[in-house]
């Protein structure tokens, strides 16, 4: 399945929020929707989920206008939306049934996810008795229990300790491997870089850049090597640069990459050498500013 934003426009009064937004995501891929606060990410998500319509353009699935009656969305919002005073299990089943899942199937699915996320012992507890991280995991179940086709995760790792963050990573990878479309919206660039095959960066309601992250990185100049070596000081002296305290040197190449690497390896003790690429944070700062 291919999900496509095609020339989406949206205004609220005189404020133009989205201007000709175009990007696409496919089954089995994770897509990162990035931008500073107010860039248009939440508006894009709400249009996708039919919270309100676009003023122009279309959401397409496999080249045709989206039929939301045939596609299940799973949404983990940044602002949590469960009932804190209610018991966990009944409300999870209720939310699952809202997507048309039969009661018996909903109870089975919710129990499965409670066990998968190590939350089964809390099924009869009130939500507000749980820690923030465990409440986050319960909220995640509402996005997954009905087996959605498109999963939208807005700041999914917020409030999670490293153990629970690893658990969520495993769950997300499983969903991607099952052929789901996973849309990430997050300011935590390390997670986007780890998961996402493709990205779109919004800036003031417009697309700053979109495409496969690998291709975007390779579009930057590849004329600098990152060299890790016990001989970092000598290498730095040869190339007239500073060596880092961690034994890392950035070497600007003036010739063939293979020849430079061969020359370094023949004359110095090299632990690692790689071409310098921009991080996603670097790209984000360039296009989101």
pLDDT digits (tens, 9 = 90+) for 39-74: 899 999 999 999 999 999 999 999 999 999 899 999
pLDDT at 159 > cutoff 80: no
**Is the CB of residue 146 less than 8 Å from the CB of residue 72?**
yes
What's the pLDDT at 75?
A: 94
Q: How far apart are CA 197 and CA 173, in angstroms?
A: 12
Q: 90-133, pLDDT tens digit by residue?
A: 999 999 999 999 999 999 999 999 999 999 999 999 999 999 88
Spatial neighbors of 10 by CB under 8 A, at least 6 apart, are 16, 17, 18, 40, 43, 47, 54, 55
Confidence band, pLDDT 50/70/90 cuts, at residue 29:
confident
Q: How far apart are CA 44 and CA 221, in angstroms?
A: 32
Please choose, from the candidates 44, 36, 35, the residue with its C-alpha nearest in 3D space to the C-alpha of residue 17: 44
Q: How far apart are CA 210 and CA 214, in angstroms?
A: 11
DSSP string, 176-231: HHTT-EEEEE-S-HHHHHHH-SEEEEEETTEEEEEEEHHHHHHTS---EEEEE-TT
**Is the CB of residue 154 less than 8 Å from the CB of residue 45?**
yes
- The secondary structure of residue 247, as a DSSP letter, is S
What's the pLDDT at 161?
A: 86
Q: How far apart are CA 122 and CA 279, in angstroms?
A: 40
Q: 165-223, pLDDT tens digit by residue?
A: 899 889 999 999 999 999 998 888 888 888 899 999 999 999 999 999 999 999 998 88
Stated as kind and residue range, the H or E segment containing 94 is: helix 88-97
Beta bridge partners of 181: 150
What's the pLDDT at 46?
A: 93
Beta bridge partners of 227: 249, 273
What's the pLDDT at 289?
A: 75
pTM value is 0.86
What is the average pLDDT score of the chain? 92
Three-class DSSP category at 266: helix
Give percent of the chain above pLDDT 70. 100
What's the pLDDT at 186?
A: 83
Stated as kind and residue range, the H or E segment containing 267 is: helix 257-267
What's the pLDDT at 177?
A: 93
């Amino acid at each position: 399945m291919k999900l496509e934003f095609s020339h989406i426009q949206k205004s609220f009064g005189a404020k133009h929020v989205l201007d000709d937004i175009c990007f696409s995501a496919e089954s089995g891929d994770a897509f990162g929707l990035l931008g500073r606060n107010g860039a248009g990410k939440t508006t894009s998500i709400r249009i996708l989920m039919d919270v309100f319509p676009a003023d122009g353009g279309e959401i397409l699935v496999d080249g045709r206008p989206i039929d939301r009656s045939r596609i299940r969305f799973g949404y983990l919002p940044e602002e949590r939306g469960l009932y804190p005073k209610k018991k966990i299990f009944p409300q999870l089943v209720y939310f699952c049934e809202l997507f048309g899942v039969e009661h018996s199937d909903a109870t089975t699915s919710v129990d499965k996810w409670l066990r998968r996320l190590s939350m089964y012992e809390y099924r009869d507890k009130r939500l507000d008795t749980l820690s923030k991280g465990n409440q986050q995991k319960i909220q995640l179940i509402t996005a997954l229990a009905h087996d959605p086709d498109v999963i939208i995760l807005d700041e999914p790792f917020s409030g999670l300790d490293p153990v629970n963050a690893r658990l969520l990573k495993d769950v997300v990878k499983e969903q991607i491997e099952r052929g789901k479309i996973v849309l990430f919206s997050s300011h935590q660039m390390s997670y986007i870089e780890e998961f996402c095959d493709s990205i779109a960066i919004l800036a003031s309601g417009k697309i700053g850049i979109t495409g496969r992250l690998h291709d975007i990185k390779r579009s930057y100049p590849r004329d600098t090597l990152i060299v890790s070596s016990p001989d970092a000081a000598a290498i730095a002296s040869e190339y007239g640069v500073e060596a880092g305290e961690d034994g890392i040197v950035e070497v600007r190449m003036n010739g063939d990459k293979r020849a430079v690497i061969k020359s370094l390896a023949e004359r110095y003790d090299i632990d690692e050498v790689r071409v310098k690429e921009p991080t996603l944070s670097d790209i984000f700062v360039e296009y989101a500013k």
